[in-house]
């Protein structure tokens, strides 16, 4: 019973770390990356649709994104979505493909992105600690109901803390890697 609780907690914590990794991919670094624009919402016949469902996105060069819409009639809508202030890119098209030059980041912008990385990492740590708290409550409930002994409950909490520490360590490593990518000139 305890092993299943701990396994479930570890699985949930793994998902928190994976979610952080997915979120960090969309944060700009000095290089062009298709993930930067994959989730940009484009109005497609009145329905907001992620860009990656409307076009093929590639990076032929380190500072250039090439977006090839599946439906050429959507080029204008895609360009408009990329020019939105929250995206902040300046695309150009030749009628068939959209080329998006990715300008180098300024020092100030890099620092803003590092703050964003740290915030997302802290959110992941909070999620992991919340999972730990919930599982500790489950263990305490089992102990209170007499289903497990006090010593088993204590050992389980210690094992849960080790699992939590390992996952927060993974979050720290992922965040540090992303910070170094962002600060790289």
What is the rounded CA–CA span in Å between residue 149 and residue 106? 58
Task: Supply the pTM of this predicted model.
Answer: 0.76
Torsion of CA 56, 57, 58, 64, to 10 degrees: 140
Between 185 and 52, the more confident residue is 52
Residue 30 lies in a domain: no
Residues 146, 123 within the same domain: yes
If one counts the domains in the chain, the total is 2
Q: Supply 102's token pair.
A: 């990715």
Please name every residue paired with 16 in a beta bridge, in sequence order, or none if there are none: none
Range of 62-66, 72-76, 91-95, 123-127 with top mean pLDDT: 123-127
What is the rounded CA–CA span in Å between residue 70 and residue 11? 37
CATH code of residue 76: 3.30.1360.40
Residues 81, 115 within the same domain: no
CB 57 within 8 A of CB 97: no
Question: pLDDT per residue over 1-54, tens digit each?
Answer: 888 989 999 999 999 999 999 888 877 777 788 888 888 899 988 899 998 899
Alpha carbon of residue 132 to chain centroid: 21
CB 128 within 8 A of CB 168: yes
pLDDT band at 138 (very low <50, low <70, confident <90, very high): very high
Alpha carbon of residue 168 to chain centroid: 15
What's the full length of the chain, in residues? 185
pLDDT band at 185 (very low <50, low <70, confident <90, very high): low
Give the Cβ contact number of residue 1 at 10 Å: 12
What phi and psi, each to the nearest 5 degrees, are found at residue 155?
-60, -40
Domain that holds residue 85: 35-101
Residues 137, 90 within the same domain: no
Question: Which of 64, 1, 4 lies closest to 34 in space, CA to CA?
Answer: 64
| pLDDT recorded at residue 159 | 95
């Amino acid at each position: 019973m305890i092993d299943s609780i701990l396994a479930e907690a570890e699985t949930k914590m793994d998902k928190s770390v994976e979610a952080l990794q997915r979120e960090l991919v969309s944060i700009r670094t000095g290089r062009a990356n298709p993930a930067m624009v994959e989730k940009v919402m484009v109005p497609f016949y009145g329905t907001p649709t992620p860009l990656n469902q409307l076009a093929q996105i590639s990076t032929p060069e380190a500072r250039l994104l090439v977006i090839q819409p599946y439906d050429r009639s959507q080029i204008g809508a895609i360009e408009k979505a990329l020019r939105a202030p929250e995206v902040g890119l300046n695309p150009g098209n030749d009628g068939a493909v959209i080329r998006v030059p990715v300008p180098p980041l300024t020092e100030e912008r890099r620092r803003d992105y590092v703050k964003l990385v740290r915030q997302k990492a802290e959110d992941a740590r909070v999620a992991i600690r919340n999972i730990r708290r919930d599982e500790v409550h489950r263990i305490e409930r089992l102990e209170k109901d007499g289903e497990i002994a006090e010593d088993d409950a204590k050992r389980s909490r210690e094992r849960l803390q080790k699992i939590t520490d390992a996952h927060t360590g993974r979050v720290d490593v992922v965040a540090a890697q992303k910070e170094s990518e962002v600060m790289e000139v």
